[in-house]
Amino acid sequence: MRIGLDIAADSDKRLCARIILVTGDTDCIPAMKHRRKSGIQIVLIVFPDNRPAPELLEQTDYKRKILWPLQN
């Protein structure tokens, strides 16, 4: 919940232009919807073994897949 409050507060104050979010938790969705009013972009980090909820993807501007742990 704290992350969601920070997203909403930072969006209202326009403290950033982009938020990079590493989560699979749908509790962030209300804050993600709220930040649209301020024009803040959301980048969702996705791991190979994880399929994010469709609702998270709907509120995301960009999806970035990364390998974890790092492959040699």
> What CATH number should be reported for the domain holding residue 9?
3.40.50.1010
Query: What would the pLDDT profile of 8-43 be if each residue is shown by its tens digit?
Result: 888 888 888 999 999 888 888 999 998 888 889 999
70 belongs to a structural domain: no
Higher pLDDT, 71 or 29: 29
42 belongs to a structural domain: yes
How many domains in the chain? Answer: 1
6 belongs to a structural domain: yes
DSSP annotation of 6: H
Give the span between the Cα atoms of 28 and 56, in whole angstroms.
8
The first and second tokens of residue 26, run together, are 């749908």
Query: pTM of the predicted model, to two decimals?
Result: 0.81
What is the domain extent for residue 8? 2-65
47 belongs to a structural domain: yes
